[in-house]
Amino acid sequence: MSNWFKRLLAGVLVTLVLGAGGWYFLISSYSIELATENEILVEDFPTNVSNQSSDELLSLSFSHGEDNLDWSKLVMSITQDDSRYDCTKSGLTSSIAHDGPIQTKLNSDGNSFTIEANSESDDFIYLSFSNMQQTNDSNYSISFSKTDIILGENVSGYSTEEEFQNVDTIPDGEPTETSDSRLEWYDYDLSVHRVIPKEITYIVNESDILYKIQFLSYYNSEDDSRYISFIISSLTDFEVPALSNEDLTKEAHCIISSNNESIWKFDETIFISENGYDICESICILEVEVRYLTQLLKGISEIKVE
CATH number at residue 63: 2.60.40
Q: Tens place of pLDDT for every residue, the chain, 306 residues?
A: 556 655 655 555 555 544 444 444 444 444 567 789 999 999 998 888 898 999 999 999 999 999 999 999 999 999 998 899 999 999 998 886 667 899 998 999 988 999 999 999 889 999 999 889 999 988 899 999 999 999 999 999 999 999 998 898 888 889 999 999 999 999 999 888 899 999 999 999 998 889 999 999 999 888 899 999 999 999 877 778 888 888 788 899 999 999 998 899 999 999 999 999 999 988 999 999 999 987 899 999 999 998
Cα 111–Cα 117–Cα 119 angle in degrees, nearest 5: 160
Q: Are strands 102-106 and 113-118 parallel, antiparallel or unpaired?
A: antiparallel
Residues 173 and 208 in one domain: yes
Domain count, the chain: 3
Residues 266 and 176 in one domain: no
Residues 195 and 293 in one domain: no
Residues 122 and 206 in one domain: yes
Residues 235 and 106 in one domain: yes
- Given this model, what pLDDT does residue 95 score? 80
Residues 10 and 45 in one domain: no
Query: Judging by beta carbons within 10 Å of its beta carbon (0-12, 13-18, 19+), is residue 269 exposed, middle or buried?
Result: middle
Q: How are strands ordered across the β-sheet holding 125-128? A: 133-135, 125-128, 142-145, 148-151
CA 131 to chain centre: 18
Closest to 67 in 3D by CA, of 44, 112, 34, 89: 34
Residues 115 and 50 in one domain: no
Tell me the chain's radius of gyration from C-alpha atoms: 23
Residues 3 and 71 in one domain: no
First vs last Cα of the chain: how many Å apart? 84
Residues 96 and 239 in one domain: yes
Closest to 164 in 3D by CA, of 92, 103, 230, 238: 230
Helix and strand tally (H, E) in the chain? 1, 26
Query: Which residues, 6+ apart, have CB-to-CB distance to 25 below 8 Å?
Result: none
The answer to whether 154 and 178 have CB atoms below 8 angstroms apart is: no
Q: Are strands 249-251 and 92-94 parallel, antiparallel or unpaired?
A: antiparallel
Residues 14 and 150 in one domain: no
- Given this model, what pLDDT does residue 180 score? 92
Cα 60 to Cα 44: distance, rounded to the nearest angstrom: 9
Residues 181 and 134 in one domain: yes
- Given this model, what pLDDT does residue 80 score? 92
Query: Judging by beta carbons within 10 Å of its beta carbon (0-12, 13-18, 19+), is residue 294 exposed, middle or buried?
Result: middle
CA-to-CA dists, residue 161 to 34, 116, 201, 203, 214, angstroms = 20, 22, 6, 11, 10
CA 90 to chain centre: 18
Residues 51 and 153 in one domain: no
Cα 233 to Cα 209: distance, rounded to the nearest angstrom: 11
Containing structural domain, residue 215 = 92-244
| 5 backbone dihedrals φ, ψ, rounded to 5° | -70, -35
| 16 backbone dihedrals φ, ψ, rounded to 5° | -65, -40
- Given this model, what pLDDT does residue 294 score? 79
CA-to-CA dists, residue 32 to 40, 107, 186, 197, 269, angstroms = 20, 22, 16, 13, 28
